[in-house]
A and B are shown apart, each in its own frame.
Chain A
Amino acid sequence: MFWGSRKTIDMNYFPDEVLEHVFDFITSHKDRNSVSLVCKSWYKIEKYSRQRVFLGNCYSISPERLIARFPGLKSLILKGKPHFADFNLVPDDWGGFLYPWIKAMAKSRIGLEELRLKRMVVSDESLELLSESFPNFKSLVLVSCEGFTTDGLAAIAANCRFLRELDLQENEVEDHRGYWLSCFPGSCTSLVSLNFACLKGEINLASLERLVARSPNLKSLRLNRAVPFDTLQRLLIRAPQLVDLGTGSYIHDPSSEAYNKLKAAIQNCNSIRSLSGFLEVAPCCMPAIYPICENLTFLNLSYAAGLQSNELTRLIHHCRKLQRLWILDCIGDKGLGVVASTCKELQELRVFPSDPFDAGNAAVTEEGLVLVSEGCPKLNSLLYFCQQMTNAALITVAKNCTNFIRFRLCILDPIKPDPVTNQPLDEGFGAIVRSCKGLKRLSLSGLLTDQVFYYIGMYAKKLEMLSIAFAGNSDKGMLYVLNGCKKLRKLEIRDCPFGDTALLEDMGKYETMRSLWMSTCEVTLGACKVLAKKMPSLNVEIINESEQTEFNLDDRQKVDKMYLYRTLVGHRKDAPEFVWLL
């Protein structure tokens, strides 16, 4: 299938369909973008054959223009709100609405098959329209979204006849209880992945069992808390082919018949490589899963608040092939030592705070991280919430693990210095960026001066995303980063003394980036206006949470929150009153 006229075969040119076939092998978005820049005919062929599009910022282009550009669109990834929205820094109703996209694609008869959304506002209406407009729709993945209820899910279940994947990760869903699951028709047998772990309400268990029973291709199943232990057991009997399992409630009497049945059922599930859930857990029931631990590559216990350090380590002893581990900090430094000595294949580690409200209480320190770095040389991705960190530890980690792609450190007291030397952590982070030449994402915390930014600008040449909070002394800090990090795409800053000088020094830089967020910094309204005026290709948005209007606010006044991003379509039309578009 091809658009455009058939070309005569010339020495120098291939026919369109051959080119198209070649382009099929080019899957990276970046590469396909490059392909389209080569010449007009390549542009045209690439344009019509392009099926997968990634939009890191839904406001960088309008739905209509996207559709005009890629009429063959089948798979779309959209991201809405800025990252700091995850931490309550962006008021509700800021934007990121899905509906206009669905409406436009439906109108243009786009053959949408896959949709993956992050931090978007998804209404039931948009889910209903989606389910009715795209007959071949196969996959819906929603991450950190909100605005919908289980009624919207019911529409998806009822109308998407070839649905393969419904994956809901950490969304805020208004739960009207379990009837949505019953909306999957009896003829629906195509499910490969079903994840409803984030739903808070009751589930129709009988419907669930029937659904799983008629889904022979089901590989991934993540249940919510409302699914009890004995249902889990019956589900596992129906689906021994599962590769990825998320348990619901995992509490039972280990001497019971049901427990023994579960043990038996699990032993039959020798394809499981990924395990999560345990929102409710009885530690005495954990031994039932030991048999599948030896094959696990991904283990997510970050919601299992009911497991103590010794239970966690006992479990981890069995997980020799683990590549990714998400865990709570109650595992402690010693427990991380067990991880270090057991999980030699470990690539990704995330340690979350079990008590996110109390800055005084994280159970892991720099010691745990050092142990892991010594035992797991393949470590390349880290998210680590801890009580404290030292320069010495970071320097050691940098020496042991040079492969970091993602390094996100969060000391619960964000301005804490090195407790041993009382120095800022500049040298420690400096060692990380110097040693890890492939570093793409970095989040800083602890007491930090402009010096750390000097190091980042000097060494972090591949850095694409940087998150800064309560750090630096002056504009120089921000300037080091803007000048040095050539590959920077996303920069988010809160509570730092960076102001107008840094913001306005190199305005063209922002056209090379996806977005910049600055909140509670020293940037004034006047400077934002200057930037907006000089750079029409950027949208400069101010989120204003006071009751003053744009007109009686002084240009010298500092803005509370500024978010700017490059765009092809100018001001967005859906901004709420409290967002000023300069």
Chain B
Amino acid sequence: MEVGLKMGFEETELRLGLPGGGDGGEVVRKRGFSETVDLKLKLSSKHGGSGIDLSEEKKMTGLNKEKNLLLSATDPAKPPAKAQVVGWPPVRSFRKNILAAATQKSGSSDESGGEKAAFLKVSMDGAPYLRKVDLRMYTSYHQLSDALAKMFSSFTIGNCGSQGVKDFMNESKLMDLLNGSDYVPTYEDKDGDWMLVGDVPWEMFVESCKRLRIMKGTEAIGLAPKAVEKCKKRG
């Protein structure tokens, strides 16, 4: 069993790219890293610069390899944007955020417009786990909404299963779901208040947003009493 696996692993390896883009198989991992970076750039160019992290790309790969052929057949001539592989370099997010905030304050910038990342937690009611987004990767509510739709797509379409796979790439359906009355995107601001996403100008939102929560519409009605509770608790 093991021998068979070993021999064929290049072919069966879950790669983010066109299959058969052979590389002689010598030091596959060497390719592995630059491939993942390359694909990331290709995806970025397709999705308008939204910085999807690699784990999400892997998720997409796991679901449907054929779709990746479509995704990666984009404009390869795009200038390389700042590439980010999840977890590399191995620096704690805490430290990354502090340094990003510091460089922003001192006004330093480089060719690609500065890093200034701010990873925020995003939760969605009913989803089994949270995600993190870097708000600075987007320049508008629309881009953010797109990215969130992709992140949580698997949870919005029924409850997993084959139907989810089919509907996965149906963007408009996702957008409808997220934009419709079923889900309400909210965020917690610097003062600890929960606000509706979209009221203030984008830049102001980025400055004041601390975490995001995509609530079910019905939940949002229950928001007011929670806020009151919070005030009481603080006394």
- A interface residues (Cβ-Cβ under 8 A, vs B): 84, 86-89, 91-94, 144, 151, 170-172, 174, 176, 179, 198, 279-280, 302-303, 305-306, 352-359, 361, 385, 410, 412, 414-415, 443, 447, 449, 467, 469-475, 494-497, 499-501, 504, 520, 522, 524, 545-549, 552, 556, 558, 560, 576-578
Contacts of A198 in B (CB 8 A): 94
A550 to chain B, nearest CB (A): 11
Q: Is B100 an interface residue (CB 8 A)?
A: yes
Kindly specify which of B39-47, B67-75, B85-93, B216-224 makes contact with the partner chain: B85-93
Q: Is B84 an interface residue (CB 8 A)?
A: yes
User: Are A497 and B9 closer than 8 Å at their CB atoms?
Assistant: yes
- Given contacts A497-B28, A520-B58, 19 further A-B pairs with CB under 8 A are A87-B92, A88-B119, A92-B129, A176-B234, A303-B98, A305-B99, A305-B102, A356-B91, A356-B99, A358-B115, A443-B90, A467-B90, A469-B90, A473-B29, A545-B55, A547-B59, A548-B63, A549-B161, A576-B129
User: Are B94 and A356 closer than 8 Å at their CB atoms?
Assistant: no
Give Cα A546 to B128, complex, Å.
Answer: 12
User: Are B29 and A496 closer than 8 Å at their CB atoms?
Assistant: yes
User: Are B2 and A522 closer than 8 Å at their CB atoms?
Assistant: no
User: Are B90 and A87 closer than 8 Å at their CB atoms?
Assistant: yes
A415-B34 in contact given A547-B154, A548-B63 (Cβ < 8 Å): yes
User: Are A497 and B29 closer than 8 Å at their CB atoms?
Assistant: yes
Contacts of B164 in A (CB 8 A): 547
Contacts of A92 in B (CB 8 A): 121, 129-130, 132
Contacts of A549 in B (CB 8 A): 160-161
Give Cα A87 to B55, complex, Å.
Answer: 12
Interface residues of B in 1-49 (CB under 8 A from A): 1-2, 5-6, 9, 12-14, 26-30, 32-34
User: Are A357 and B106 closer than 8 Å at their CB atoms?
Assistant: no
A176-B91 in contact given A91-B129, A92-B121, A501-B6 (Cβ < 8 Å): no
Contacts of A176 in B (CB 8 A): 192, 234
- B interface residues (Cβ-Cβ under 8 A, vs A): 1-2, 5-6, 9, 12-14, 26-30, 32-34, 53, 55, 58-59, 62-63, 82-84, 86-96, 98-100, 102-103, 105-106, 110, 115, 117, 119, 121, 128-132, 154-155, 160-162, 164-165, 192, 210, 233-234
User: Are A447 and B129 closer than 8 Å at their CB atoms?
Assistant: no
A223 to chain B, nearest CB (A): 15
Contacts of B86 in A (CB 8 A): 87-89
Among A353, A474, A547, A556, the residue within 8 A (CB) of B89 is A353
Closest residue on chain B to residue A561 by CB atoms:
B55
Contacts of A151 in B (CB 8 A): 233-234
User: Are A358 and B94 closer than 8 Å at their CB atoms?
Assistant: no
A410-B89 in contact given A303-B99, A576-B128, A577-B128 (Cβ < 8 Å): yes
Which of A303, A356, A472, A578 neighbours the largest number of chain B CB atoms within 10 Å of its CB?
A: A356
Q: What would 13 A/B residue contacts be, using CB atoms closer than 8 Å? A: A86-B90, A87-B88, A89-B86, A280-B102, A280-B105, A357-B115, A359-B83, A470-B29, A474-B6, A497-B28, A522-B13, A524-B5, A578-B128
Contacts of B121 in A (CB 8 A): 92
Q: Which 8 A-B pairs have the closest CB atoms?
A: A87-B87, A547-B154, A305-B102, A546-B62, A501-B2, A357-B115, A577-B128, A92-B130
Contacts of A499 in B (CB 8 A): 2, 5-6, 9
User: Are A410 and B90 closer than 8 Å at their CB atoms?
Assistant: yes
User: Are B94 and A560 closer than 8 Å at their CB atoms?
Assistant: no
Contacts of A520 in B (CB 8 A): 32, 58
A451 to chain B, nearest CB (A): 12
Give Cα A577 to B130, complex, Å.
Answer: 12
A449-B5 in contact given A93-B128, A356-B89 (Cβ < 8 Å): no
Contacts of B32 in A (CB 8 A): 470, 495, 520
Contacts of B34 in A (CB 8 A): 415
Give Cα A107 to B3, complex, Å.
Answer: 53
Closest residue on chain B to residue A179 by CB atoms:
B234
Closest residue on chain B to residue A306 by CB atoms:
B106
Give Cα A320 to B225, complex, Å.
Answer: 60
Which of A198, A447, A545, A576 neighbours the largest number of chain B CB atoms within 10 Å of its CB?
A: A545
B65 to chain A, nearest CB (A): 11
A545-B30 in contact given A558-B13, A558-B14 (Cβ < 8 Å): no
Closest residue on chain B to residue A281 by CB atoms:
B102
Give Cα A89 to B132, complex, Å.
Answer: 11
Give Cα A151 to B192, complex, Å.
Answer: 13
User: Are B103 and A93 closer than 8 Å at their CB atoms?
Assistant: no
Which of B84, B88, B91 neighbours the largest number of chain A CB atoms within 10 Å of its CB?
A: B88
User: Are A495 and B62 closer than 8 Å at their CB atoms?
Assistant: no
User: Are A385 and B89 closer than 8 Å at their CB atoms?
Assistant: yes
Contacts of A467 in B (CB 8 A): 90
Give Cα A449 to B29, complex, Å.
Answer: 10
Closest residue on chain A to residue B122 by CB atoms:
A92
B213 to chain A, nearest CB (A): 13
User: Are A547 and B29 closer than 8 Å at their CB atoms?
Assistant: no
Closest residue on chain B to residue A361 by CB atoms:
B110
Contacts of B106 in A (CB 8 A): 305-306
Give Cα A171 to B26, complex, Å.
Answer: 42
Contacts of A94 in B (CB 8 A): 129
Closest residue on chain B to residue A303 by CB atoms:
B98
User: Are B27 and A449 closer than 8 Å at their CB atoms?
Assistant: yes
Among A361, A414, A471, A560, the residue within 8 A (CB) of B62 is A560
Give Cα A546 to B151, complex, Å.
Answer: 11
User: Are B87 and A88 closer than 8 Å at their CB atoms?
Assistant: yes
User: Are B59 and A88 closer than 8 Å at their CB atoms?
Assistant: no
A117 to chain B, nearest CB (A): 15
Among A302, A443, A475, A576, the residue within 8 A (CB) of B6 is A475
Contacts of A385 in B (CB 8 A): 89, 91
User: Are A545 and B59 closer than 8 Å at their CB atoms?
Assistant: yes
B81 to chain A, nearest CB (A): 11
Among B58, B62, B90, B130, the residue within 8 A (CB) of A91 is B130
User: Are B29 and A412 closer than 8 Å at their CB atoms?
Assistant: no
Closest residue on chain A to residue B134 by CB atoms:
A357
B14 to chain A, nearest CB (A): 6
Give Cα A472 to B26, complex, Å.
Answer: 11
Contacts of A497 in B (CB 8 A): 9, 28-29
User: Are B89 and A470 closer than 8 Å at their CB atoms?
Assistant: no
User: Are B91 and A305 closer than 8 Å at their CB atoms?
Assistant: no
Give Cα A547 to B115, complex, Å.
Answer: 31
B31 to chain A, nearest CB (A): 9
